[in-house]
Amino acid sequence: MIITKKSLARRAFLRGLGTTLALPFLDAMVPALKAGTAAKPSVRTAFVYVPNGIIMKDWTPAADGTGWEFMNSMKAMAPFREDMLVLSGLAQVNGRALGDGAGDHARAGATWLTGVHPKKTEVDLHAGVSADQVLARELGKATQLGSLEIGLESPSLAGDCDSGYSCAYTNTISWRNPTTPMPVEVNPRAVFERMFGDGESTDPASRLAAMKEQSSILDYITGDAARLSSGLGATDRNKLDQYLEAIRDIERRIQKAEEQNATMKMPVMERPTGIPEEFDDHAHLMMDLLALAFQADMTRVVSFMMAREGSNRSYRSIGVNDGHHSCTHHMNDPEKIAKTAKINTHHVETFGYLIQKLKSTPDGEGSLLDHAQILYGSSISDGNAHTHHDLPILLVGGAAGQVKGGRHQRYPKETPLNNLLLTMMDHAGVRVEKLGDSTGEVKLLSDV
């Protein structure tokens, strides 16, 4: 532990063999000489992507301002009305063909956080730096991890996935630079290891073997945790106990998934170790890891793909046996439209789990949601026509008092989505003049 001037340092850790455990924000981290004053909260930013567009008639509110009503696909967000903005009219112009013909799904994935038209190629990749990585370069100077790139479908960054475009364009939304896509991690065990294994004394394989001999990674830091807890007030002890129990719960679920995969017979393909079989279980586990990373300030930047662009995953748990991508090419067939809308609704319901988790997790004088900004949406609006304007976009969270929710904002047609990304980066304390096709920051309703 690191103690300074009778207060606990914000970047304090609990340590054990091969383990470094960051702490959540505690009252004891407010400097003793400034007792009674709140430390300035860090703004956390997440970008949550859904593929293949949305049935927009079931998404876009009819009214603007405060008098809007939730449409069918978005009703699961009703408990968070005052925490969110519905943003209409934003576009990704560079997601369009621009002379390159077919390949809208590849261009959608590559442009969502870059605003740069990708080069049509399978090998000589070129897109643009993504907003999450611009943030990671600066905010990562103060955190254990610069960023996390996570998802729910195993991606490949090689080969042709969409009409002559590399799979890299459909399978990630994060680009370190124009030629370097960031791989998406879908295995909760790998994410957990990255967060809690410091790699100082053992290699990843050795740490994994050691952890399997222990009931929990927390066994390594029990002594340090006890020493810390003895010097904390009742409120901080409760926060610490809740945080450690959240870690233990995630471990149990990962171990359960690993046990299930070890005994499961898969005649067609082998599932990666540690990935839950059901979509909901997988999504909830990854979202809990995201929240934990924000709670301990391990990173302030996460990109999360609910599915890769062009995904043809079926959702049997909600009664949709057809592939998602196939349903979106509905050709105005009411049955396929209904199935697509059902998938859209399920994605929003799953996203609501993350928002509830952040809203219920204390962070200083507020919650993680109060101090976060979560962008949810797609780089395609109408999946049948492959349109890249009037995109489905939600902005959830208070960004440490910089955003006030409860409204539907409609921007002029062809307003670049990247203008919103500039605004979000500004909220996070990273000022950028230009990103992709941006033309300047947007006004959010809290600003007007």
pLDDT grade for 361, boundaries at 50, 70 and 90: very high
Average pLDDT, the chain: 85
| Number of Cβ atoms within 10 Å of the Cβ of 212 | 10
| Number of Cβ atoms within 10 Å of the Cβ of 239 | 22
SS3 of the chain: helix, strand, coil, percent, to 5: 40, 15, 45
For residue 252, give the nearest of 208, 210, 196, 189 by alpha carbon: 189
pLDDT grade for 243, boundaries at 50, 70 and 90: confident
Q: Look at 30-34, 116-120, 269-273 and tell me which has the smallest mean pLDDT.
A: 269-273
For residue 147, give the nearest of 122, 184, 119, 116 by alpha carbon: 184
- Can you give the residue ranges of every domain in the chain? 41-186+275-447
For residue 342, give the nearest of 317, 365, 360 by alpha carbon: 317
pLDDT for 1 equals: 42
264: pLDDT strictly greater than 70: no
pLDDT for 343 equals: 98
Tell whether the torsion through CA atoms of 333, 338, 341 and 347 is positive or negative: negative
pLDDT for 447 equals: 47
128: pLDDT strictly greater than 70: yes
Mind listing the pLDDT tens digit for each residue in 59-118?
999 999 999 999 999 999 999 999 999 999 999 999 999 999 999 999 999 999 999 999
Contacts of 146 (CB under 8 A, 6+ apart): 136, 137, 139, 140, 299, 301
- Sort residue 71 into left (φ over 0), alpha (ψ -120 to 50) or beta: beta
Q: What is the rounded distance in angstroms from the CA atom of residue 45 to the CA atom of residue 418? A: 15
6: pLDDT strictly greater than 70: no
pLDDT for 154 equals: 82
Q: Give the whole-number percent of the chain exceeding pLDDT 90.
A: 65
296: pLDDT strictly greater than 50: yes
pLDDT for 35 equals: 47
| Number of Cβ atoms within 10 Å of the Cβ of 209 | 11
pLDDT for 50 equals: 98
37: pLDDT strictly greater than 90: no
**Burial of 382: CB neighbours in 10 Å, binned 0-12, 13-18, 19+:** middle
pLDDT for 206 equals: 55
Q: What is the rounded distance in angstroms from the CA atom of residue 157 to the CA atom of residue 50? A: 18
- Per the structure block, which two tokens stand in for 31? 């400097």
CATH annotation of 41-186+275-447: 3.40.720.10
